[in-house]
Structure 1
Amino acid sequence: MSDQDQGQSSKKYKRVMLKISGEALMGDQGFGLHPPTVERIAREVKTVHDMGVEICMVIGGGNIFRGLQGSAQGMERTTADYMGMLATVMNALGMQAAMEDLGIHTRVISAITMNEVAEPYIRRRAVRHLEKGRVCIFAAGTGNPYFTTDTAATLRANEMACEAIFKGTKVDGVYDKDPAKHDDAKRYDKVTYDEVLAQHLNVMDASAIALARDNDLPIIVFSLDEPGGFKGILAGEGTYTIVN
């Protein structure tokens, strides 16, 4: 990594969006929530929260139900997508419980109104939660079918004036091909939005990448399985890929 890149990575972000997949919460299970894994991720978030960074989160729902797969199996797409949104709410509540066990005040904010379990999305209220040091977990996607949680994370990151999206994955950055299948896979230190789109690199879906590009919002892809990885990047260390 060049000195210029190192300087950029050591920037102290004040407010960030952490996007993780629902599959990240199921550990070695094939389905659902794995409490020790949820707790481990919550502890990773706490280390960054303790640095004074304001944190937004979006969690996918693929560990419970994925709308696109339901649609592929013959279910009407809109219904399948709404079921996927409800799965993200379940994951958000699970993460909230783990975070609050660690003493972090957390709010689940849903794009679908369900006042008994989550707050409705009101931008100014969410910003105020962040200013008070609360972690905001945005659930139910954008509230609309045909949009992924990647797009929801990018939308909320822009609305909350986040300085970067941190995409936690199983690998330590963006590769030109699947490193689990190809020993010669090359990891990028830096890649542009247009290169991600043109080369069909597996970062986020095209709508999310375009929205980030149009608003100059960097995406930092790192390994969520690496202990201390989230905090390390904020301290200018670790291995990752920056998309900008």
Structure 2
Amino acid sequence: MPVHQRILLKLSGEALMGDDAFGINRATIDRIVAEVAEVVQLGVQVAVVIGGGNIFRGVAGGAAGMERATADYMGMLATVMNALALGDAMNRQGLKARVMSAINIDQVVEPYVRPKALQYLEEGKVVVFAAGTGNPFFTTDTAAALRGAEIGAEIVLKATKVDGVYSADPKKDPHAVRYQSISFDEAMARQLQVMDATAFALCRDQELPVRVFSIFKPGALRRVVQGEDEGTLVHV
């Protein structure tokens, strides 16, 4: 039986790129959906917060010098594009997915309403949260912490390209050690880049644990929800 019954999966936009410079790699998104489907079949309720860096990267040059709030709203729209692509891929693979946006684009996607999101989760649907928190100056990490707390998730799973939190950059330091678990306070004291400070503080204050793992390791998501030693657990 899964250890976690309701999870919030935080996916970066870059996770959808595969080996492409930007945009969405179809084979990559289908593989990620297959990983999600595996845990849904175990009876786990899954919500997803997705970033938009892969889309925004394609227009980053034109955004140089832009007002921060405007650039952040563009980033939110990029997350909506990713969420729609992810939801479509899930539905094509037999999952029932619902995309909900923190900014109103009624003709494209339904607005985020907490009771409705909870209803979808209880019905076994995967809920994909788009547009971050709906406000500029907040990252999708913060959106993951916020939505995770709102829906009563047992854990936030931050899916990255690295299989956990290390004492140093493993690409630069061959002696870097992966932490099996670490407290929020210790991670902050050691200035480990787990999430942005706002998201980190929210998770700590809400006693919402975070597990950092690699979405590119086959079966890693399933192993995480079953409580196996995968990635790094950050806890109170």
TM-score past 0.5 threshold: yes
User: Which residue matches 2:18?
Assistant: 27
Among 189, 195, 203, which residue is 2:194 paired with? 203
User: Which residue matches 2:92?
Assistant: 101
Alpha-carbon spacing, 1:23–1:219, altered in 2? closer, same or farther (3 Å): same
Residues 89-129 of structure 1, C-alpha deviations (whole Å, 9 max, x = no match): 00001101110011111010000001112110110011000
Residues 17-54 of structure 1, C-alpha deviations (whole Å, 9 max, x = no match): 00011000000001000010000000000000000000
1:72 deviates by 8.1
User: Which residue matches 2:230?
Assistant: 239
Q: 1:160 & 1:28 partners in 2: Cα distance?
A: 33
- Please state whether the residue corresponding to 1:108 is helix, strand or coil: strand
Contact 2:4 2:226 in 1 (8 A): no
- Please state whether the residue corresponding to 2:56 is helix, strand or coil: coil
Alpha-carbon spacing, 1:40–1:235, altered in 2? closer, same or farther (3 Å): same
User: Which residue matches 2:45?
Assistant: 54
- Please state whether the residue corresponding to 1:113 is helix, strand or coil: coil
Q: 1:109 & 1:72 partners in 2: Cα distance?
A: 26
TM-score, normalising length: structure 1: 0.92
Q: 176-185 vs 140-149, which deviates more?
A: 176-185
1:237 deviates by 2.4
In the alignment, structure 1 residue 130 sits paired with structure 2 residue 121 = yes
User: Which residue matches 1:181?
Assistant: 172
Contact 2:181 2:232 in 1 (8 A): yes
Structure 1 gap segments, 5+ residues each:
1-9
1:239 deviates by 2.4
Q: 142-151 vs 93-102, which deviates more?
A: 93-102
What are the equivalent positions in structure 2 for 1:20-99 lying under 5 Å apart? 20-65=11-56, 73-99=64-90
Structure 2 gap segments, 5+ residues each:
none
1:195 deviates by 1.8
